[in-house]
Amino acid sequence: MQTITVDVRVVAATNQDLRQAVATKAFREDLFFRLSVFPVEIPPLRRRRSDILALAEAFLARYGREMGRKGLKLSEASRRALLDHSWPGNIRELQNCLERGAILCSGTQIEPEHLLLSAGPSGGPSLGDVLDLSGGPAAWPRTRRSPSPCARRPAIARRLRPAWASASRP
């Protein structure tokens, strides 16, 4: 038998107060101390309002590149809506909101109605409420000219190829 030495670093994240969890015996104290070598606490997005627009612009640039839709911009009303939202879903909610805006926007300027911000998880309209998908792929909004990175797996790409072909026809 041979011993192999490894050097491992663990990066862990939680939205729970682990000190409190240790105190109530809901989290193992030894594991807490193993993970607490260099704790970094990042406040939720709702407490970092000054980061919202910079993050939004970065996400929009990324989704624009991925979707072949460069030049996507937020309207002033959209900027205000983003700043006024409480962001219970934190960064993931902001990402989803901007990806949805990039999909629903037919031009380059994203308006508040493209963002579909709501007061809670079920408070806003669904994509089915906003888009008429009854005409099949040819009637769907065109945002991607090729499969997304996660859809490049051969089996998925093979199944989606007919939809892309019919959606790309004028």
- What CATH number does the domain containing 67 carry? 1.10.8.60
What is the number of structural domains in the chain?
A: 2
Q: Which domain holds residue 75?
A: 45-135
Asked whether residue 127 falls in the same domain as residue 149, the answer is no
Distance of CA 158 to the CA centre of its chain: 26
Asked whether residue 69 falls in the same domain as residue 129, the answer is yes
The CA–CA distances, whole Å, from 11 to 2, 39, 146 equal: 28, 9, 34
* 124 in Cβ contact with 116 (< 8 Å): yes
In a domain, 53, yes or no: yes
In a domain, 109, yes or no: yes
Asked whether residue 77 falls in the same domain as residue 157, the answer is no
Provide the sign of the torsion angle of the four alpha carbons 32, 35, 38, 41, taken in this order: negative
Asked whether residue 158 falls in the same domain as residue 97, the answer is no
> Rounded distance, CA 86 to CA 16, Å?
19
Using the predicted structure, report yes or no on whether residue 158 has a pLDDT greater than 70.
no
> Rounded distance, CA 135 to CA 149, Å?
26
Closest CA to 73 of 82, 63, 60: 60
Residue 161 token pair: 């190829």
Asked whether residue 123 falls in the same domain as residue 143, the answer is no
pLDDT of 27-84, one tens digit each? 999 999 999 988 888 888 989 999 999 999 999 999 999 999 889 999 999 999 999 9
pLDDT of 93-144, one tens digit each? 999 999 999 999 989 999 999 999 875 544 444 445 455 555 555 655 555 5
